[in-house]
Amino acid sequence: MAASGQKPPREPVSVLVWGTLRDALDGRERIEVRAGTIRELLDRLAEDYPVLRPQLEKNGVSVSIDGQIYNGSWFKPIGPEQEIVLLPRIRGG
């Protein structure tokens, strides 16, 4: 642990941004975020990229890790060695 009992900073993960989420970031295809779980990723995205907040909160997003979609698996660990894709929520029919 770091000084004052705080956790050490996470390594940044590279996130590929897809669809309308990319449009909200003026076409940026990839961003880096310091996060160790999906929940931390989404929280940090809302903080670092406020333009994404409406889609993160209202519409929801899906997170793909190494090709598998996660919806609601907030404590799933993520790391810099993984392929992480953020895309508009995929809803089943």
Q: What CATH architecture does domain 9-88 belong to?
A: Roll (3.10)
Among 69, 80, 28, residue whose Cα is nearest residue 60? 69
pLDDT at 71: 84
pLDDT at 57: 85
Q: Give the C-alpha separation, 4 to 13, whole Å.
A: 25
pLDDT digit string, tens, across residues 5-26: 556 567 899 999 999 899 989 8
pLDDT at 8: 56
Q: Does position 2 have pLDDT exceeding 80, yes or no?
A: no
**What SS3 state is found at 37?**
strand
Residue ranges of the domains in the chain?
A: 9-88
Side-by-side strand order, sheet with 84-88: 30-34, 12-17, 84-88, 61-65, 68-70
pLDDT at 21: 93
Confidence of residue 49 (pLDDT cuts 50, 70, 90): very high
